[in-house]
Amino acid sequence: MEFELTADQQAIREMVREFAEKEIRPHATEWDEREEFPAEVFAKLGELGMLGILVPEAYGGAGLGYVEYATILEEIGAADGGVGLGVAAHNSLCTNHIYLFGSEEIRRAYLPRLASGEWMGAWGLTEPGAGSDAGGTRTTARRDGDEWVLDGTKTFITHATVGRIAVVMARSDPDAEKHHGISAFAVPFDRPGVSPGRKEAKCGMRSSDTSQLVLEGCRVPADHLLGNEGDGFIQAMKVLDGGRISIAALSVGIARGALDAAVAYAPVREQFGKPLAAYQMIRAKIADMATQVDAARLLTLRAAWLKDRGVETTRESSMAKLYASEVAVKVAEEAIQILGGYGYTREYPVERAWRDAKLCTIGEGTSEIQRLVIAREVLRLASASA
- Nearest one of 183, 147, 190 to 168, comparing CA atoms: 183
pLDDT for 109-124, tens place per residue? 999 999 999 999 999 9
What is the model's pLDDT at position 133? Answer: 78
Lowest-pLDDT range of 38-47, 130-139, 268-277, 321-330:
130-139
Residue 6 per-residue DSSP state = P
CB atoms closer than 10 angstroms to residue 27? 18
1 confidence band (pLDDT: 50, 70, 90): very low
Q: Is the pLDDT assigned to residue 7 strictly greater than 50?
A: yes
Alpha carbon separation from 222 to 97, 108, 140, 183, 384 (Å, rounded): 17, 17, 15, 12, 41
Using CA atoms, how far apart are residues 49 and 52, in angstroms rounded to an integer?
A: 6
pTM score of the predicted model? 0.95
Beta-sheet strands, E only, within 159-233: 165-171, 182-188, 194-199, 210-221, 225-226
pLDDT tens sequence across 149-192: 999 999 999 999 999 999 999 999 988 887 789 999 999 999 99
Using DSSP bridges, classify how beta strands 165-171 and 121-124 pair: parallel, antiparallel or unpaired.
parallel
- In the predicted model, what is the mean pLDDT of the chain? 95
pLDDT of residue 3: 66
Are 199 and 156 contacting, i.e. CB atoms less than 8 angstroms apart? no
pLDDT in tens, 63-83: 999 999 999 999 999 999 999
H or E segment to which residue 236 belongs: helix 232-265
Query: Does the active-site annotation cover 364?
Result: yes
- Residue 2: predicted pLDDT: 46
Give the model's pLDDT for residue 178: 73
The one catalytic residue in 2, 364, 368, 377 is 364
User: How much is the average pLDDT of 313-341?
Assistant: 98
